[in-house]
């Protein structure tokens, strides 16, 4: 994923070209792709994405956040790019991998660099829904109940080892992730804006884990895997003692209002009808594939579209290309399908999605 350069030698004019890259001569697989057409829908009037100084500054700040995260989590540029894409797409992320590879560190660092109010919940089998959402406490003095908000009332919630929580507690996050609100004792409570859940989980089969049901997985925009770092990155991590210092502090590089501004920009990125048809073709292919028991849901197609819009903004474009859809298809769709074979793992589903992407005709 290409972010706007923050190298000090770049001139202001070249940085602006990076943010406003609107070439009408784009190509895809050697064939011309009309970017003017890509910015318009056949059914709606085109609207342009604001390329204000404020938006350009916000993109520069996101690039700085990315660089800072790469200094902390070594050798995981692709995971960091995907996490920032989910952030702009207003989607939650499931980080799945073995313990100790930096999942929680990545989530906490992101919150600190963006100056977001964050809460961390360590999921255990005895964790109750009220421990996350909050509950009403009786006040003897007034004879009334007072609602005490739980940790979910924040900008970024880190649900650590979510698959160690009981299914009842896992389901407490469904409404929050889908609608940015929670209903407690019949009263609806709006959550913060922005609101993002970053959940970590250990691979299935670890002792004391409860697999997330399909309805819960469908709420996550991405399922990502950290994997072990390469040898060079792990050596750098061992020699960098500053991260392990008790007083280690990350200075915020971006404010919440700038993040919200970019999220609004993403919502207005134009999508050509051919791109929408392409997404529907990919989703329908998962429903027809003989290896798949349950195909990707309509929510999955909507989330793939929003993620593609976010990737376009991060790459300085005001329109979505087929590349954006293809680059994100596995991360968005692989956890939304259920395979017929037994003993499956996430990589099996990812392989099916890759096959579908490669075999589906690309619009040009």
DSSP structural state of residue 319: B
Q: What percent of the residues of the chain are helix, what percent strand, and what percent coil, each to the nearest 5?
A: 45, 15, 40
User: What digits encode the pLDDT tens for the residues 217-252?
Assistant: 899 999 998 888 889 888 887 887 566 554 467 889
> How confident is residue 100, by pLDDT bands cut at 50, 70 and 90?
confident
Considering the chain, tell me which residue range(s) the CATH 3.40.50.300 domain(s) occupy: 50-267
The two structure tokens encoding residue 34? 């009309």
Establish how many alpha carbons lie within 13 A of residue 303's alpha carbon, considering only the half-sphere containing its beta carbon.
30
Q: Does residue 342 have a pLDDT over 70?
A: no
Q: Give the mean model confidence (pLDDT) for residues 102-131.
A: 90
Strand partners, 208: none
Contact 100, 237 (CB under 8 A): no
Q: Does residue 24 have a pLDDT over 50?
A: no
Contact 210, 165 (CB under 8 A): yes
Percent of the chain exceeding pLDDT 90 equals 45
**pLDDT, position 175:** 85
Q: In CATH, what is the architecture of 50-267?
A: 3-Layer(aba) Sandwich (3.40)
Enter the pTM of the model. 0.80
User: What digits encode the pLDDT tens for the residues 196-222?
Assistant: 999 988 776 566 678 888 888 899 999
**pLDDT, position 299:** 93
**pLDDT, position 53:** 78
**Which secondary structure element, helix H or strand E, spans residue 72, and what is its range?**
helix 53-72
Q: Does residue 280 have a pLDDT over 90?
A: yes
At residue 214, the 3 state secondary structure works out as helix
The two structure tokens encoding residue 53? 């100084």
**Which secondary structure element, helix H or strand E, spans residue 322, and what is its range?**
helix 322-333
User: What digits encode the pLDDT tens for the residues 13-23?
Assistant: 333 333 333 33
**pLDDT, position 6:** 40
d(C-alpha 108, C-alpha 72), whole Å = 11
- Tell me the CATH number for domain 23-48+270-364: 1.10.8.80
Q: Does residue 173 have a pLDDT over 70?
A: yes
Query: Own/partner pairs for 56-61, CB < 8 Å, 24+ apart?
Result: 56/15, 56/16, 56/19, 56/20, 57/258, 58/254, 58/258, 58/259, 58/261, 58/262, 59/3, 59/4, 59/19, 59/262, 59/313, 59/314, 59/316, 60/4, 60/6, 60/15, 61/253, 61/254, 61/258
Contact 160, 123 (CB under 8 A): yes
């Amino acid at each position: 994923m290409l972010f706007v350069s923050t190298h000090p030698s770049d001139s202001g004019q070249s940085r602006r070209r990076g943010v406003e890259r609107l070439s009408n001569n784009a190509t895809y697989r050697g064939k011309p792709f009309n970017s003017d057409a890509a910015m318009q829908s056949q059914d709606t009037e085109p609207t342009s994405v604001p390329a204000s100084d404020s938006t350009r500054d916000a993109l520069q700040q996101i690039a700085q956040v990315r660089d800072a995260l790469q200094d902390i989590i070594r050798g995981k540029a692709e995971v960091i790019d995907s996490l920032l894409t989910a952030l702009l797409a207003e989607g939650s992320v499931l980080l799945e991998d073995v313990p100790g590879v930096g999942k929680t560190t990545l989530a906490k660092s992101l919150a600190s660099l963006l100056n977001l109010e964050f809460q961390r919940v360590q999921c255990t089998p005895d964790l109750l829904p009220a421990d996350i959402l909050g509950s009403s406490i009786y006040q003897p003095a007034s004879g009334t109940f007072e609602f005490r908000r739980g940790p979910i009332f924040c900008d970024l919630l880190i649900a650590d080892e979510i698959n160690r929580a009981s299914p009842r507690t896992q389901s407490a996050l469904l409404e929050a992730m889908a609608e940015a609100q929670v209903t407690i004792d019949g009263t609806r409570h709006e959550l913060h804006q922005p609101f993002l859940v970053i959940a970590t989980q250990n691979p299935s089969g670890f002792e004391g884990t409860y697999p997330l049901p399909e309805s819960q997985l469908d709420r996550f925009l991405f399922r990502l895997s950290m994997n072990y770092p390469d040898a060079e990155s792990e050596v750098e991590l061992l020699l960098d003692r500053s991260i392990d210092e008790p007083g280690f502090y990350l200075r915020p590089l971006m404010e919440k209002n700038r993040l919200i501004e970019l999220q609004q920009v993403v919502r207005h990125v134009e999508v050509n009808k051919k791109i929408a048809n392409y997404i529907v073709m990919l989703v329908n292919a998962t429903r027809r594939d003989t290896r798949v028991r349950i195909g990707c849901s309509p929510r999955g197609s909507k989330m793939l579209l929003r993620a593609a819009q976010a990737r376009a903004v991060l790459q300085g474009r005001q329109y979505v290309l087929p590349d954006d859809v293809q680059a994100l298809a596995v991360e968005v769709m692989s956890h939304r399908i259920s395979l017929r074979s037994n003993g499956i793992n996430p990589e099996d589903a990812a392989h099916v999605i890759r096959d579908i992407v490669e075999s589906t005709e690309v619009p040009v």
